Chains A and B, each alone.
Chain A
């Protein structure tokens, strides 16, 4: 936590704390695995649905669809594998950093982005965990500012414990206490 010491050193623009030279902590590797599993299961379901459609005895399919269904299945399967692989790469790029006065979150493979949220501007914090997250003890931290729901700052795939710590870091932060 920040100490309440008063300091007043002069700062030139080059001496400012740099957002981009922070050490970003990668998100939990459990999350990467869980995400991969979810994606694979999702694509598996789609491919199996297509298979069921192909083998089902109840009604006859239009000729063209019947002709191209195996190709479509193959394409969907490959797309699923590729997107899952991409998902792993993308998840490995995600990371967060905490400084005294703000959070940052980086993500993206082709489109990289670093989002920074000053703690002073936080309106409320939410911890979200779905059934799968709960099973693997993961949580999503969502931070809302007055920027609106479109600009919610979210860190996905945090271990439960870390997420709770981060939340209490925000809630007990002096900037928030002063603002209330």
Chain B
């Protein structure tokens, strides 16, 4: 047990670096919006070097002072069954968190904590993200002891009659990822497009810079475009090779991102707890109790399909809130690019009765495809007719082509939809070019919804939504009696079994 209980404690001095880095990060996040302005005004800046340097120096002093102050005013106390934290320089923040309200314990180990073996401990509570408590710097051993104490606290409360858990907990390795796997994950994951999307606002200034740069090297771009000395296919090849280079660079960035986030990925299990450790610079450690697991998701985009890999996700509470963070932080556990076999092993390790691998899916009504095609039709075909009328033949043709493409995708999407209910589990399959398999136990359902539009009523169809603690799962366009039976069965299982969802 921890010996310094009940006293107010100061952090280890290494936390000063943490505060400083955090401050720089915050400032950096705000400065990103100024980046184009800095680019544009670069010349003016370079003339006032002295001002810049003194400005930077002032900023540095500010960072150091703020970090020292934050360090000075931060103290924490561990008393019987609760964590108390006092922090804040001007705006004081007092957190008093009983152990039983802690849903999840996470560790973060930034690279500068590694030599001194410190970690940052994050305590998540149910509900809002704002109620998160952070103990900035704890020695690793203390943190581990505290984690064990917090996690066993509730269990002890419930089963006081039972003996304590054996002290020697042994962790069983379920899965680890090699660099090769992570490279595959980087190639297959869609981060390329996220990066492109994030760069979108800068495209204009970037391309201007690019052309400027090329022109500075002595190439006259305008002349190149206008001159008739190159054939069309040469231009085509030229742009193709540029596109290829851009995609290659993006893929490289994506691979790097994947390696940095998931480096030395290890998923272990100790009794009823899953532990995920990963990260090259900042090490993350996330602990999830098996009972908190709400849904297993197997994701495969088209590249994953080609490489025969799956991204396996263990979704727990409130995953909706953390969807933006690409599965690195937060309580969600994602095992990147596992083989189908490994995915099945992991899924059946968590829920032995689930049949994610063998289950046969029922298709949803083809009216889903019909309705979506009709929507696409009314959006695009009258448009193309109107365009033909105004003699914009090319645009009209493009609009018709778009309609054909949309129809193909709609049919593909409809084919992917599938559902199955077997024993205590509901299975959903969806996707477009990739596939997404989901599986959750019926007794974890929080709420059911049955929807019917006027169009669906005519054909005796309905959509069903199962609300779980990790978000809502919709199953569209199934026969109304089937939908009603799904809802009735779900409610019956929840209400009759009275099993806990966490």
The residue in chain B whose Cβ has the minimal distance to the Cβ of A145 is B446
Q: Are A147 and B469 in contact (CB under 8 A)?
A: yes
Q: Are B489 and A13 in contact (CB under 8 A)?
A: yes
Chain A, range 7-60, C-beta contacts under 8 Å to B:
11, 13, 16-20
Chain A, range 134-175, C-beta contacts under 8 Å to B:
145-148, 150-151, 153, 175
**In whole angstroms, what is the CA distance A148 to B446 when docked?**
10
Q: Are A115 and B489 in contact (CB under 8 A)?
A: no
In the assembled complex, how far is the CB of residue A67 from the closest CB belonging to chain B, in whole angstroms? 26
- Tally inter-chain residue pairs, CB-CB below 8 A: 102
A64 within 8 A of B: no
Residues in A lying within 8 Å of B, measured CB to CB: 11, 13, 16-20, 101-102, 108, 110-121, 145-148, 150-151, 153, 175, 178-179
Q: Are A115 and B468 in contact (CB under 8 A)?
A: no
Interface size on B, residues (CB 8 A): 34
Q: Are B452 and A111 in contact (CB under 8 A)?
A: yes
In the assembled complex, how far is the CB of residue B118 from the closest CB belonging to chain A, in whole angstroms? 34
B257 within 8 A of A: no
Interface string of B108-128 (1 = CB under 8 A from A): 000000000000000000100
Given the known interface contacts A19-B487, A112-B452, the answer about A120 and B498 at a Cβ–Cβ threshold of 8 Å is yes
Residues of A within 8 Å of B457, CB to CB, are 112
Q: Are B469 and A146 in contact (CB under 8 A)?
A: yes
Q: Which of B447, B472, B488, B498 is the one whose CB lies under 8 Å from A117? A: B447
Residues of A within 8 Å of B494, CB to CB, are 118, 120-121
The residue in chain B whose Cβ has the minimal distance to the Cβ of A111 is B453
**In whole angstroms, what is the CA distance A56 to B318 when docked?**
52
Q: Which of A111, A118, A151, A179 is the one whose CB lies under 8 Å from B491? A: A118
- Can you sample 20 A-B contacts with CB below 8 Å? A11-B492, A16-B489, A16-B492, A17-B492, A18-B488, A20-B484, A111-B451, A113-B451, A114-B487, A116-B449, A116-B450, A117-B447, A121-B447, A121-B501, A146-B502, A147-B446, A147-B469, A148-B320, A150-B472, A153-B447
Q: Which 3 A-B pairs have the closest CB atoms?
A: A147-B467, A101-B495, A147-B446
Q: Are A113 and B449 in contact (CB under 8 A)?
A: yes
**In whole angstroms, what is the CA distance A145 to B320 when docked?**
14
The residue in chain A whose Cβ has the minimal distance to the Cβ of B466 is A147
B471 within 8 A of A: yes
Chain B, range 473-491, C-beta contacts under 8 Å to A:
484-485, 487-489, 491
Q: Which of B447, B453, B471 is the one whose CB lies under 8 Å from A145? A: B447
**In whole angstroms, what is the CA distance A111 to B453 when docked?**
4
Residues of A within 8 Å of B501, CB to CB, are 121, 146
Residues of B within 8 Å of A179, CB to CB, are 500
Given the known interface contacts A115-B447, A150-B472, A151-B467, the answer about A178 and B498 at a Cβ–Cβ threshold of 8 Å is yes
Q: Are A116 and B452 in contact (CB under 8 A)?
A: no
B339 within 8 A of A: no
B317 within 8 A of A: yes
Q: Are B495 and A118 in contact (CB under 8 A)?
A: yes
Q: Are A120 and B495 in contact (CB under 8 A)?
A: yes
B448 within 8 A of A: yes
B42 within 8 A of A: no
Residues of B within 8 Å of A121, CB to CB, are 445-447, 494, 501
Interface string of B307-318 (1 = CB under 8 A from A): 000000000011
Interface centre among A11, A108, A112 (most CB of B within 10 A): A112
The residue in chain A whose Cβ has the minimal distance to the Cβ of B451 is A113
In the assembled complex, how far is the CB of residue B165 from the closest CB belonging to chain A, in whole angstroms? 24
Q: Are B446 and A115 in contact (CB under 8 A)?
A: no
* Extra 4 A-B pairs, beta carbons < 8 Å, given A113-B449, A115-B449, A148-B320: A101-B495, A112-B457, A113-B450, A120-B498
In the assembled complex, how far is the CB of residue A180 from the closest CB belonging to chain B, in whole angstroms? 11
Q: Which of A111, A150, A153 is the one whose CB lies under 8 Å from B320? A: A150
**In whole angstroms, what is the CA distance A178 to B500 when docked?**
10
**In whole angstroms, what is the CA distance A119 to B467 when docked?**
14
The residue in chain B whose Cβ has the minimal distance to the Cβ of A100 is B495
Q: Are A147 and B450 in contact (CB under 8 A)?
A: no
**In whole angstroms, what is the CA distance A13 to B471 when docked?**
27
The residue in chain A whose Cβ has the minimal distance to the Cβ of B487 is A19
Residues of A within 8 Å of B489, CB to CB, are 13, 16
B454 within 8 A of A: yes
Residues of A within 8 Å of B472, CB to CB, are 147, 150-151
Given the known interface contacts A101-B495, A178-B498, the answer about A118 and B450 at a Cβ–Cβ threshold of 8 Å is no
Interface string of B423-464 (1 = CB under 8 A from A): 000000000000000000000011111111110010000000
Chain B, range 198-226, C-beta contacts under 8 Å to A:
none
Q: Are B446 and A20 in contact (CB under 8 A)?
A: no
The residue in chain A whose Cβ has the minimal distance to the Cβ of B498 is A120
Q: Are B468 and A175 in contact (CB under 8 A)?
A: no
The residue in chain A whose Cβ has the minimal distance to the Cβ of B321 is A148
Residues of A within 8 Å of B447, CB to CB, are 115-118, 121, 145, 147, 151, 153
Q: Are B446 and A114 in contact (CB under 8 A)?
A: no
Given the known interface contacts A113-B450, A120-B498, A147-B447, the answer about A19 and B484 at a Cβ–Cβ threshold of 8 Å is yes
Residues of B within 8 Å of A18, CB to CB, are 484, 488
Given the known interface contacts A19-B484, A147-B467, A148-B471, the answer about A175 and B446 at a Cβ–Cβ threshold of 8 Å is no
In the assembled complex, how far is the CB of residue B316 from the closest CB belonging to chain A, in whole angstroms? 11
The residue in chain A whose Cβ has the minimal distance to the Cβ of B480 is A20
**In whole angstroms, what is the CA distance A112 to B485 when docked?**
17
Q: Which of A19, A101, A151, A175 is the one whose CB lies under 8 Å from B450? A: A19
Residues of A within 8 Å of B484, CB to CB, are 18-20
**In whole angstroms, what is the CA distance A175 to B502 when docked?**
15
Residues of B within 8 Å of A17, CB to CB, are 488, 491-492
Given the known interface contacts A19-B488, A102-B491, the answer about A114 and B471 at a Cβ–Cβ threshold of 8 Å is no
Q: Are B485 and A13 in contact (CB under 8 A)?
A: yes
Interface centre among B317, B447, B500 (most CB of A within 10 A): B447
Interface string of B240-259 (1 = CB under 8 A from A): 00000000000000000000
**In whole angstroms, what is the CA distance A114 to B446 when docked?**
15
The residue in chain A whose Cβ has the minimal distance to the Cβ of B497 is A120
In the assembled complex, how far is the CB of residue A64 from the closest CB belonging to chain B, in whole angstroms? 23
Q: Which of A112, A148, A151, A178 is the one whose CB lies under 8 Å from B451? A: A112
**In whole angstroms, what is the CA distance A2 to B43 when docked?**
78
Residues of B within 8 Å of A146, CB to CB, are 126, 317, 446, 469, 501-502
